[in-house]
Amino acid sequence: MLKYLWLTGVIIVLDLASKAVVSQHFSLYEIMSVIPGWFNLTLAHNSGAAFSFLADESGWQRWFFAAIALIVSAILFLWIKRLQEHERWLAIALALVLGGALGNLWDRLTLGYVVDFLDFYYQNSSQRAMHWPTFNVADMAISIGAFILIIDPLFTKDKPDSET
């Protein structure tokens, strides 16, 4: 099922290209309102993990999260390689997660942090904004892939129809 690795490549290219464009045109924490009250582009650097977990540490977390990403990526690659032809949704999900992991890994290795820029929020009537943590294309791919991994068993059988 390595034929689905094209999707991994697309995610990596979209992720790195979008991060490069935003990094080139925005200053750190600069905000551009796209949909007032809902969505901004905001350049942020995350040296931690999801939701900036461990971002305030001394720098060891860069290599820790990079090592985890490398190990997980190798496992995902081997998992995709061993899939059966009928497990296409699983292959798509794993390819998405792999692309996201490699996109963020590139940032960690080359920059020391992950570039985030998608800022969704809700501005209520009292003008108090509630923000979702800023994220990027790689994070979206990981989230969509994880969602597919969760729901795939609900809609697929263990074996293809020809084997039952």
pLDDT of residue 37: 87
pLDDT of residue 156: 79
Q: Would you place residue 2 in the very low, low, confident or very high pLDDT band (cuts 50, 70, 90)?
A: very high
pLDDT of residue 164: 45
pLDDT of residue 33: 95
- Which residues lie across from 121 on neighbouring strands? 131
∠34-38-41 over CA atoms, to 5°? 40
C-alpha distances in Å from residue 124, one per residue of 32, 130, 131? 19, 8, 11
The residue assigned the tokens 């190990």 is 71
Collapsed DSSP state (helix, strand, coil) of residue 146: helix
- Which residues lie across from 41 on neighbouring strands? 32, 118
The residue assigned the tokens 């290209």 is 17
- For 38-77, write each residue's pLDDT tens digit: 999 999 999 877 666 666 666 677 888 899 999 999 999 9
- Enumerate the active-site residues: 116, 139
∠29-33-39 over CA atoms, to 5°? 95
- Does 152 score more than 90 pLDDT? yes
Domain residues of the chain, as ranges? 2-22+35-152
Average pLDDT over the chain, rounded to whole?
90
